[in-house]
Structures are given as structure tokens and as C-alpha cells.
Amino acid sequence: MTGLPVLCGSRVRLRGLRRADTRAVLRVFADPETSRFLEADLSDPVRAREMVRRRLDHQGPEGTGHWVIEFDGTVVGLAHLRPSSELPTEGAEIGWFLDRAHGGRGLATEATALLLEHGLGTLGLPAVWALVHEDNLASRKLAERLGFQDVGGGRHYGGPHRVYVVSARPATGVHHIELWVPDLERARASFGWLLGALSWWEYQRWSAGTSWRSGGCYLVVEQSPALSAEIHDRCRPGLNHLALHVPSQRRLDELVAQAAGHGWRPLFAERYPHAGGPDHYAAYLENQDGYEVELVATGN
């Protein structure tokens, strides 16, 4: 298992499961909630040790197997990418577990996205599948954030599960958008809040920039040393604004109410929410550095 590639994100690191990780994995599963949606209660150390042994004994295609999730040098979870024993399909099945003590930070999303990128990008898999228990709402939302499509349901692993899939993406469409900004910390604050609220997740962070990802596309903000000016003017030739989906009109109203506290001011406020026309429910916001974002409600 140690022959698996190390996958590094901005905060988490995935590496192949080792026998020496057994105690750390048992600690992750000591909370019964971690295995709540599994057939076996892995808070039982005997069952958990057997589970680790099976994963260590995994023999599958090169580049697939089982990884531990590390955060600040500590094992906080477990993930896998392997042929499915439940679905007679091409590709591989993905799964993830995170210590509840580290929940709510987007670490599971980041780890799963790294593994998904490895499967589709590096291994060239035709599809990656996820089986998520009907009642595991947190994992279902995570899968949907990463672009998985719900294609049905059935009884798997002893219980009712939804079947999710991401197919290999054709090399078309938007890969990423990069904005050069005059003040990186202001951009991180305003764009970080807005994109996070729309379920984008932080993808990369380095001294001069940050990126956030949604599905197969990501947005970069960078304070480049090659900047030739200190002011962004959206009325000059070049980028005028970004337009982003918001899942509902209600959610859009909530974001507009909160925006001022995160570095955004409304544009065309007197005509909200129909500044773009009577059938277009949207908001137009501008941050301190003059970048405009249009938020478009895609549902009621």
C-alpha cells in the first residue's frame, strides 16, 4: 500500500495506508458516528483492526487502494479509490471517512477532490463512483459539491444507498480563470467568503495567490510581481465581471444581506433583484478593488 502516490492539497496530505497507521485509524473510528452508516460498528477495535487488515491486503490496479488523510501531520481520516465490489461498472469506487473532531473545515472535501483528480486525471479512469447511504446527508452534499451526479439508488453494503458518478471530462469548456489583484489579502477575504458560501472549496494556496474550485473549473486570485498597474478598472477592455450560479432565490437574498460584512457593495441596488431583466433574478456586487460579480439564482 505504501507504493501509492502522495497527494497534497493546501491543507491535507494523502499517503498510502501502512500497518503502522492501525492505531491512528482505530482512533478515527473510535467515535461510533464515524461508522454510523456502515454495516459494522467500527468503534469496536476488533472489527476496526480487521477492516484495516483487509485494506492493507488490497490487491488492485496500479494507483488504486487506500490512503490515510493527514492534517498538520496527524492522521485524521481514511479514503479509498478501488474497483467496486458492489457495482459491475468500469472505473473505480471512491470513499472517505473523517474524524468528527476535524469536521466542518472542508478537509473531507479537499481530500476527496484530490483523490477524484488522481482517478480521472492521473489514472485516466472513465468514471469514478460513490455509494453514499441515503441518510448520510453530509456526504451526499459533499459528493454533489464535487460534481457527482445522482444516478439512482439501491441496496448496497447492507443498506439503502444513492449511486453517484463523475465521468471523465472532455477537454473542453472552462479550465480556470485567473484574476490579478492589487491586494491579495483583500481578495482572499472577499472572494474566499463568497465562493465558500457557494460551496466552492479552497484548492491551492501559495505566497502570491489562492485558488478555489467547483467541479472541473477553478478561480485563481494572484498578486503577481509582474502587475503593471495598481487599480482594476472593469470598464476598460478586458474582464468586466464574473457570473456565478446560486442554487435558489432565497439563498441569493441571504448572500446579498451578508455581503457588506465581507467586502462587497451592491450595484444597481434600486433594481434588485431584476436589474438584468424581469425574468432574471440576480444580484450585482463589487468588492473594494473594483471586481464585479453577478450572482444568478438558478431556482426558486
Residue 82, pLDDT > 80, answer yes
pLDDT band at 3 (very low <50, low <70, confident <90, very high): confident
Mean pLDDT of the chain: 93
* pLDDT attached to residue 215: 67
Give the three-class secondary structure for 287. Answer: strand
Sheet of strand 92-98: strand arrangement: 7-8, 12-16, 65-71, 74-82, 92-98, 127-133, 159-167, 149-156
Which residue has 491543507 as its cell numbers?
Answer: 11
pTM for this entry: 0.67
Angle, alpha carbons 15-18-22 (nearest 5°) = 115
The predicted-structure confidence for 188-211, as pLDDT tens digits, reads as follows 999 999 998 887 888 889 999 999
Angle 227-232-233 (CA atoms, 0-180°, nearest 5)?
A: 135
Q: Tell me the domains of the chain and their CATH numbers.
A: 7-167 (3.40.630.30), 176-297 (3.10.180.10)
Extract the C-alpha cell encoding 255: 448572500
* Assigned C-alpha cell, 64: 488504486
Instruction: Please name the residue that has the C-alpha cell 496530505.
Output: 13
Q: Which of 132, 133, 114, 263 is nearest to 201 (CA)?
A: 114
| Helices marked H in the chain | 22-29, 45-56, 107-117, 137-145, 184-197, 249-259
Q: Is the separation of the CB atoms in 235 and 287 below 8 Å?
A: no
* pLDDT exceeds cutoff 70 at 171: no
- Count of residues for the chain? 300
Take residue 24 and report the three cell numbers written for it.
491512528
Q: How confident is the model at residue 37 (pLDDT cuts 50, 70, 90)?
A: very high
Residue 268 has pLDDT above 80, yes or no: yes
> Would residue 3 be called left, alpha or beta, if left means φ above 0 and alpha means ψ between -120 and 50 degrees?
alpha
Q: Provide the grid cell at 157.
A: 453494503
